[in-house]
A and B are shown apart, each in its own frame.
Chain A
């Protein structure tokens, strides 16, 4: 295994995570990671050493997913498992005060429309800069920023109680 492949192995966990954001399905995510890895290897010559391998592979993954969803004729993607063992009830807890728990943020993230979901995931979950995230999504930075703001506002609105427009 060369250094390139070694770095790729180390990236696998994060690729799997971003795959889950994209596909909202654990096993689809791993299939997508596999496709991504294979594509990346066949295009290894297009990667510029010294640039971030994660952003490059996220971009390949995003495009592989676009291909895949087209192939599926946009088969209805199963909505995120809203009730997946989260046990959040309307128990009268003052919503505005409630701590944002990881599972809730996850759930709300998964409910966002894809463009907002990816923007939020790349910046808040993966910790990319706006510029890097925009390059993964192949959008202008302004577009990335507005998706990010909308996605964030939606998550906070749903979790925050004010207006609770969900």
Chain B
């Protein structure tokens, strides 16, 4: 069961592009040799920092999305901490969040399908006892107008 993490780190602005690429490649290889998968790498470019970090006012942001287990992430963080050009980093675990979002989207998809089926039959049984097949959607719809009129 691999967990998905987002690692964002800032590299000092006075490194050359090639050095930056080498650095990123080094971290990627750390992940892959440790048994993880690098899902994506994104160089977010040079940005102005919101406050001075080690006397730098801007830096190169890099975002790595990886799939790894906890021990590997600890190792990666250790390397980031030790690495001199990296001035800040943050690791965020995202798999639980993704699961939650996917669940919500799935529920929304089923709700939409249900209401699409009910729509043709809706005009007739407005106040009449609701068809037993679909209870959730019409109940909610009936509750709202009832609430508004009350």
> A and B: real partners?
no
Chain B interfacial positions (CB closer than 8 Å to A): none
